[in-house]
Amino acid sequence: MISIFTWLLFFALFYLLVTSIILLRNRIDLTPLPINSEFIQDTKKPSVSVCIPARNEAHNIGTLLESLRFQNDHPFDVHVLDDHSEDQTAGIVQSFQEDFPVKLHLHQGKEKPAGWLGKPWACHQLANKADGDILLFLDADTELKPGSIEGITAAFEHYQTDMVTVWPYQKTETFWEKAVIPLIYYALVTLLPAIYVYRDPRWMPSFLKKKFRPLFAAACGQCIAFKKEVYIKINGHEAVKNQIVEDVELAKITRRSGFRMRMFHGVGSITCRMYLNQKEMFEGFRKNFFAGFNHSLALFLLAMVIHLIVFILPFITVFYSIFAGLPTIFFLSAACIGLVLLHRLILALWFRWDPLYSFFHPLGVLWFQRLGLIKVIDYFTRRTVLWKGRKVS
């Protein structure tokens, strides 16, 4: 008689084999942002307006602005919106204005209207101030390598696309950053075939393509760019004014509206350090973790159960099988563990993270399980979540 552990491990192994195929395909299709490449032509270059929403970003904004000083010769200007900061964000921006190599504009944010969340409202104001052919929205905690802006415009030209998003290289310094942050990219590259972000699956019947197209849409709000006319046509951030994961929703609207988008990784071009410590990381993910599942409690709980089966159970049953003398369970457990570690090692080499932390994958999963339980409690108690002093749910 086949035990329940055997069935669960068969499921885990099947899941990991399927995600292995997606991961290997993404290793080919999720390409780096082109920088100083043959993509860049001598034709008239479109102007770029860099739009940076900033609320209490005194510890980040200077690094980003300094990196913008060293972009290649490309027509661009910079707009920073001080969103009612309570620190020295505005003063730091002003200190750059005098000798900045391009036009650097500092705008004071207006009061947030009812029905808007903070970031969409800030980006909406920036878009109204900017007049570039391309609107490039950057989070204040990003940093651009020389040539990044030119690379983004080259991507628009070479791929004939209407929207570009880049997943930055994530800098991690503390133990919990190194153990947890890579799991975000792990989910991305093992679950979403990047090729379907910009073209429809050829195996899908034509009558289903339009309906399912938005399901393959994804974006990273840390670096997202639009042709301005397309941004206007999709109603920009106003269309996602009350969405916590506004970046993904913008991608869905772009694809649903029939426009094209392209996704890149930012290793070698754009970097970001999302959070500085575990507390900040926990609260940052807490604000949008549930929204990432389209606010579906059933889907959220299903994902938690699947992660326990796939990423935690094999590490338990491998020891259980040794002491109980169960070779089938041992083989299945070892196969699952081997695939998980292989996935993580590929990811570490790809995104230049410490490979040693691949072995802490179960710990990172348990960290998110704890976060998930708290989000379930938030859901049933209708507890308000705050981020930078504002309600987000």
| pLDDT at residue 386 tops 80 | no
Mean of pLDDT values over 356-385? 93
Q: What DSSP state is assigned to residue 310?
A: I
Q: Rounded to an integer, what distance in angstroms lies between the CA atom of residue 115 and that of residue 157?
A: 36
For the segment 123-141, what is each residue's pLDDT rounded down to a tens digit? 999 999 999 999 999 999 9
Taking phi over 0 as left and psi of -120 to 50 as alpha, with beta for the rest, 160 belongs to left
Q: Is residue 103 part of a domain?
A: yes
**Partner residues linked to 167 by β-bridges:** 265
Q: Is residue 263 part of a domain?
A: yes
Confidence of residue 156 (pLDDT cuts 50, 70, 90): very high
Percent of the chain with pLDDT over 90: 79
- Co-location of 146 and 16 in the same domain: no
Q: Is residue 284 part of a domain?
A: no
Least-confidence region, from 19-33, 198-212, 262-276, 309-323: 198-212
| pLDDT at residue 339 tops 90 | yes
- Co-location of 241 and 311 in the same domain: no
Q: Is residue 320 part of a domain?
A: yes
- Count helices and strands in the chain by DSSP H and E runs: 16, 10
Could you tell me which residues come within 8 angstroms of residue 110 by beta carbon, excluding any fewer than 6 positions away?
125
pLDDT of residue 289: 87
Mean of pLDDT values over 5-27? 97
- Co-location of 201 and 314 in the same domain: no
- Co-location of 213 and 125 in the same domain: yes
Six-digit token string for 393: 């749910």
For the segment 270-301, what is each residue's pLDDT rounded down to a tens digit? 999 999 889 999 999 998 888 878 888 999 99
- Co-location of 98 and 218 in the same domain: yes
| pLDDT at residue 384 tops 90 | no
Q: What DSSP state is assigned to residue 45?
A: P
| pLDDT at residue 37 tops 60 | no
Q: Is residue 282 part of a domain?
A: no
Q: Where does a domain end: 216, 249, 276?
A: 276
- Co-location of 261 and 386 in the same domain: no
* Residue (of 352, 388, 145, 384) closest to 275 by Cα position: 388
Confidence of residue 68 (pLDDT cuts 50, 70, 90): very high
| pLDDT at residue 40 tops 70 | no
Percent of the chain with pLDDT over 70: 96
- Co-location of 330 and 345 in the same domain: yes
CATH number for the domain spanning 45: value is 3.90.550.10
- Co-location of 175 and 198 in the same domain: yes
68 near 60, Cβ under 8 Å?
no
Least-confidence region, from 31-40, 277-286, 361-370: 31-40
Structural domain including 153 reads 31-276
| pLDDT at residue 1 tops 50 | no
Mean pLDDT computed over every residue of the chain: 92
Q: Is residue 236 part of a domain?
A: yes
* Residue (of 111, 136, 160) closest to 52 by Cα position: 136
- Co-location of 263 and 299 in the same domain: no
- Co-location of 212 and 71 in the same domain: yes
Location of structure tokens 């970097």? 271
Q: Is residue 330 part of a domain?
A: yes
Q: Where does a domain end: 232, 249, 276?
A: 276
- Co-location of 272 and 309 in the same domain: no
CA atoms within 13 A on the CB side of 18: 11
Q: Is residue 71 part of a domain?
A: yes
Six-digit token string for 380: 């049933």
Q: Where does a domain end: 219, 244, 276?
A: 276
SS3 content of the chain, % helix, strand, coil (to 5): 55, 15, 30
- Co-location of 264 and 302 in the same domain: no
Q: Rounded to an integer, what distance in angstroms lies between the CA atom of residue 116 and that of residue 379?
A: 21
Mean of pLDDT values over 173-179? 96
pLDDT of residue 36: 58
156 near 74, Cβ under 8 Å?
no
Q: How many domains does the chain have?
A: 2
